[in-house]
Structure 1
Amino acid sequence: MTDLGTIRQEIDEIDRGIVEAFEKRMDLCRQVAEVKIGTGKAVLDRGREREKLETLAALASDEFNAHGVTELFSQIMAMSRKLQYRILTEHGKLAGEEFVRTEGLPSPEHCVAYQGVEGAYSHAAACRFFGEKAAVKAYPKWADVMQAVASGEADYGVLPLANSSAGMVNDVYDLLIEYRNYIVGEVELKVEHALLGLPGATLPDIQEVYSHPQGLMQCAHYLDRHPDWNRHSVSNTALSAKKVLEDGKIFQAAIASRLAGELYGLQVLESPVNDSDKNTTRFIVVCRKNLCRTDAGKVSICFEVPHESGSLYNILSHFIYNNINMNKIESRPIPEKKWQYRFFVDFDGNLADAGVQNALTGIRQEAAMLRILGNY
């Protein structure tokens, strides 16, 4: 029987041969890239790769090895494409959308749009980002904010994108695709909900509670301790406070911020009532211009992938290959394509970085659709 040491020596020898063969293959791929620079031929040829994999798998001695050969050469081909993308990017052959680089964001000439009414968390986020003296304007819906920015009626819009307790704000993700606005900044706002009632109201008086659906979700555990309270959704937390004031009914209460309570003359019945003391909402700042600060450190993109095995893995591999830290991924259904999804990804980097350019080049070539939502 051959001893383990001898077997390992043979494996090491084979591995060295594989490395030598791999380097020879990659050198040929460099030559292929040079040819494609001159001809403009696409890097990815799905039909050619499919035929090649079938041919190589047929050389294997059994089904297990055939599957392994397919997986091995799929990765080798992916590495070859990444090398070619890098070379073509260096030659400026695969440039994407150009962003206007700026040292800082221009001051608003008209206004900063937000959804809700005065005292809403979006209002507070807008003031946090642009300053208390900024000209802000409230709009009834998130879509109204995006439309105001797209039309030039507003210079910027502030929208909630995700909450640390309740998760992503689905409608806002969808609006990022519906409108051609760009993310140019972000601000995080700690959320501290209070239960607000009319002056003189007490907890035993309360029967109806109003808030935004996200506000109700973020206070679910607290509300569960009061099963007799009926919950009602409104379009904004501050609007719920305004409603309680205008209705003037002692049995109604709102879940909103203390600031909203002060603005609408309500008293705090209990605070805080959110489930987590680390409850934070991330707001994005959007602009119709594709601006990019020179010191930007985060990129947001959206892409769609072919509806086939391994397509998402192949796209995400571009981040790994270029040593890019991906810090968030979300998916949303594509309405016109049954059971297909588009993906939203945030990752660290600047559009001027070579690694970011290489990754985006590969994704642009292999995805069914790619949108750079912003670098901020």
Structure 2
Amino acid sequence: MSTAVAIQGIKGSFHHIVSQHYFDADVKIIECLSFDSTIEALLKKQCDVAIIALENSIAGSIIPNYALINDHNLQIVGEYYLDIQHHLMALPHQKITDITEVYSHPMALLQCKAFFKNHPHIKLIEDKDTAEVAQRIQSQKLTQVAAIASRLASEIFELEILAESIQTIKTNETRFVVVKRQDAEVSQNDINKASLKFELDHKRGSLAAILNVLSDCKLNLTKIQSLPKIETPWKYAFFVDVTFDNIADFEKAKSIVTLMATDFKILGAYKSASL
């Protein structure tokens, strides 16, 4: 029986590519045009697992997705780093000079901003999903309109690539996480990374004290992200990723941080993906 996977976007999107790489077996794709609807599909048990992007090496963290994982008590069970190559594509037999509008996801437009400075005649318009724009161009036979999407999208929707790898920084990676509903099992032998969330009182040294504990317990801090608490001005939740060689070190740190922080939560303990 194939695994049902909810993704943000449609077939040909970068989330779709991750699903193909992460899972060895065939997967049934549940297409969702927002991160909220992706998580909703998981909560309604329309799928077994969801894949969502968390951060990009150029554009930074996708902060609302941290809140989605936390607020719905989801569990991160894995991660995947994907090399993101953005290609400009349109219906066949057109040139860049023919294109008047480019539609794509805001993150893709941001990552390709410098390219379009050399093409000031093109209007950039934000849209929900990279691959969905490619699909629309094909289905509606839209001329003078281009999409920024993956090479897979150009193949699926029979579009011609007008310019390859147009992202400003050529080394462009996005970290995706694989999430399940709570209490998903991950083999203890595979665990060498964890994602944590905690809150701290707004006083001097409180964050430093936590970070010292992580260091003393031989945990390597790979990510820290703060998120303001809307209902409590000037109070922040911290999202932290740590790696470790020995799970006993992680267990020790966990027991200490539980006593020091408010609303301490393990968002997931899983196997680290190679960069």
Higher helix share: 1
Give your verdict on TM over 0.5: yes
Instruction: Flag structure 1 segments of 5+ consecutive residues without an equivalent.
Output: 1-107
Q: Is the 8 A contact 1:292 1:374 kept in 2?
A: no
Q: 2:99 aligns with which of 178, 202, 206?
A: 206
1:1-376 equivalent positions in 2, closer than 5 A: 111-131=4-24, 133-290=26-183, 291-294=185-188, 295-349=190-244, 353-376=247-270
User: Structure 1 residue runs of 4+, over 4 Å off?
Assistant: none
Higher strand share: 2
Alignment check: 8 A CA contact 2:9 2:15 kept: yes
Shift of 1:276: 2.1
Give the secondary structure class of the aligned counterpart of 1:292: coil
- The answer as to whether partners of 2:49 and 2:178 remain within 8 angstroms in 1 is yes
Q: Is the 8 A contact 1:110 1:153 kept in 2?
A: no
* Alignment deviations for residues 318-360 of structure 1 (CA, whole Å, 9 cap, x no partner): 112212111111112212122322111111137x733212211
Alpha-carbon displacement from aligned partner over 1:115-137 (angstroms, at most 9, x marks no partner): 11110000110111113622222
Q: Deviations over 1:268-294 (max 9, x none)?
A: 111011122211111110111432222
CA apart distance, 1:165: 1.3
Which range is displaced more, 145-154 or 312-321? 145-154
The structure showing larger relative contact order (alpha-carbon pairs under 8 Å, at least 6 residues apart) is 2
Question: Structure 1, residues 30-56: CA drift from partner, whole Å, max 9, x if none?
Answer: xxxxxxxxxxxxxxxxxxxxxxxxxxx
CA–CA separation in structure 1 for the residues paired with 2:137 and 2:2:
35
Q: What is the deviation of 1:110?
A: 5.2
**Which structure: larger Rg?**
1
Residue 179 (structure 1) shift: 1.0
SS in 2 for 1:131: coil
The secondary structure found in structure 1 opposite 2:116 is: helix
**C-alpha contact (below 8 Å) 1:185/1:284 kept by paired residues:** yes
For residues 164 and 285 of structure 1, the distance between their equivalents in structure 2, rounded to whole angstroms, comes to 18
Shift of 1:147: 2.1
Instruction: Could you tell me which runs of 5 or more consecutive residues in structure 2 were left unpaired when the two chains were aligned.
Output: 271-275
Counterpart-to-counterpart distance in 2, 1:156 and 1:214: 24
Asked if 1 retains the 8 angstrom alpha-carbon contact of 2:2 and 2:26, the reply is: no
- The aligned amino acid for 1:330 is Q
The equivalent of 2:273 in structure 1 is none
The count of corresponding residues between Structure 1 and Structure 2 is 268
Distance 1:339 1:259 in 2: 44
Instruction: Assess if the C-alpha contact under 8 Å between 1:150 and 1:180 holds in 2.
Output: no
TM-score (norm 2): 0.92
For normalisation by structure 1, the TM-score amounts to 0.68
Distance 2:250 2:204 in 1: 25
